């Protein structure tokens, strides 16, 4: 079971992180390094997501590593202030968590918005980041039309949902944004709902999500990508929002970039094809650790 850890983000914002303990029954390797020498991993969810989405990946990485997942501001169990939801705030939060929990240098695994935070942090604080996984996040600006489409999409949600089964059905089958049924998407969104007096509603405020998107709607992030000096893996699902051409250009721009595709997966590749995702990420982190200089032990 994950341990809940209360931390403080930028501007004294209360944040909730979750630490996944290594399972002692899985430590069959006689060369396994104990807790004092484990490398660290920080997992950052995407827009609307939450730390609990990373549970399966975290458990797969925990043997031999110290794994922490963060509920970012406005998400999960962390505080939901009216602002700011700027790129600077998200990056400063991640920086604060790494320092407060003594994680650095840490491998950052990010999905979508969390991936952008990961590479921005790696560019600004190379001393804190040993490797970064970038899953389905574009470096190009999306444009104002993208924001209008999201506003319309949010308004189309048939809130409140009567049951979680209704949540799974709408996001996994009935949502007009998808072309075919995606049960994993339904499960993903079911985890983002909480029961209230009138039914099931999202744990986040949709206005906060729109503010969070503004930074990549209007701005491109190629320059910061080029400043990431640690090993970096760009991962996309075959049917994801990050296209192959842009993903490969991101790898070219990254000084130490690598590329991977997850077959039969979309934007939610870690949940569409979890075994393939975990294999790709685990292999990358192992290889990055072999190529990186030794660091100081990470304390619990």
Mean pLDDT, rounded, of the chain? 92
191-195 mean pLDDT: 98
Q: Pick 218 or 88 by higher pLDDT.
A: 88
Given a cut of 60, whether residue 212 has pLDDT beyond it is yes
Q: How far apart are CA 5 and CA 82, in angstroms?
A: 23
Where do the H-state alpha helices sit in 77-143?
A: 87-100, 113-124
Task: Calculate what percentage of the chain has a pLDDT beyond 70.
Answer: 92
Q: What is the pLDDT of residues 120-138, one digit of tens each?
A: 999 999 999 999 999 999 9
Contact of 212 with 200, CB cutoff 8 Å = no
CA distances from 51 to 85, 157, 173 (A): 18, 23, 24
Given a cut of 50, whether residue 268 has pLDDT beyond it is yes
Given a cut of 90, whether residue 41 has pLDDT beyond it is yes
Angle formed by the axes of helices 144-156 and 206-218, nearest 10°: 160
* Bridging pattern class, strands 65-71 and 39-44: parallel
Given a cut of 60, whether residue 117 has pLDDT beyond it is yes
Cis previous bond, 160, omega within 30: yes
Least confident of 69-83, 161-175, 284-298: 284-298
Least confident of 31-45, 180-194, 198-212, 243-257: 31-45
Q: How far apart are CA 72 and CA 9, in angstroms?
A: 9
Q: pLDDT at position 23, please?
A: 61
Q: pLDDT at position 293, please?
A: 58
**Who's near 160: CB < 8 A, 6+ residues apart?**
196, 198, 199, 200, 201
- Give the residue from 4, 65, 38 showing the smallest Cα distance to 278: 65
25-41 mean pLDDT: 53
> How many other C-beta atoms lie within 10 A of the C-beta of residue 300?
10
Confidence band, pLDDT 50/70/90 cuts, at residue 291: confident
Q: pLDDT at position 22, please?
A: 77
Confidence band, pLDDT 50/70/90 cuts, at residue 28: very low
Q: How far apart are CA 7 and CA 210, in angstroms?
A: 25
**Who's near 211: CB < 8 A, 6+ residues apart?**
83, 85
Q: How far apart are CA 287 and CA 22, in angstroms?
A: 20
145-151 mean pLDDT: 96
Its pTM stands at: 0.93
């Amino acid at each position: 079971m994950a341990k809940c850890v209360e931390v403080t983000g930028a501007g004294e914002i209360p944040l909730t992180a979750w630490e996944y303990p290594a399972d002692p029954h899985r430590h069959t390797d006689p060369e396994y390094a104990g807790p004092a020498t484990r490398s660290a991993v920080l997992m950052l969810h995407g827009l609307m997501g939450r730390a609990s989405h990373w549970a399966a990946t975290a458990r797969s990485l925990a043997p031999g590593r110290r794994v922490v997942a963060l509920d970012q501001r406005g998400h999960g169990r962390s505080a939901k202030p009216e602002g700011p939801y700027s790129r600077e705030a998200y990056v400063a939060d991640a920086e604060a968590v790494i320092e407060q929990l003594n994680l650095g240098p840490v491998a950052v695994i990010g999905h979508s918005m969390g991936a952008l935070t990961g590479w921005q942090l790696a560019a600004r604080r190379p001393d804190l980041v040993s490797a970064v996984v970038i899953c389905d996040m574009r470096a190009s600006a999306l444009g104002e039309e993208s924001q209008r489409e999201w506003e319309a999409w949010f308004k189309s949600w048939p809130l409140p949902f009567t049951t979680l089964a209704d949540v799974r059905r709408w996001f996994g089958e009935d949502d007009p944004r998808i072309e075919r049924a995606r049960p994993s998407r339904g499960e993903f969104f079911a985890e983002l709902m909480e029961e209230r007096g009138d039914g099931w509603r999202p744990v986040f405020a949709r206005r906060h999500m729109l503010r969070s998107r503004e930074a990549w709607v209007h701005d491109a992030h190629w320059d910061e990508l080029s400043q990431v000096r640690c090993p970096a893996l760009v991962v996309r699902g075959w049917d994801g929002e990050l296209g192959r051409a842009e993903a490969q250009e991101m790898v070219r721009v990254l000084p130490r970039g690598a590329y991977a595709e997850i077959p039969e997966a979309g934007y939610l590749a870690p949940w569409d094809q979890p075994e393939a995702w975990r294999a790709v990420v685990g292999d990358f982190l192992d290889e990055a650790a072999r190529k990186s200089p030794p660091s100081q032990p990470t304390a619990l």
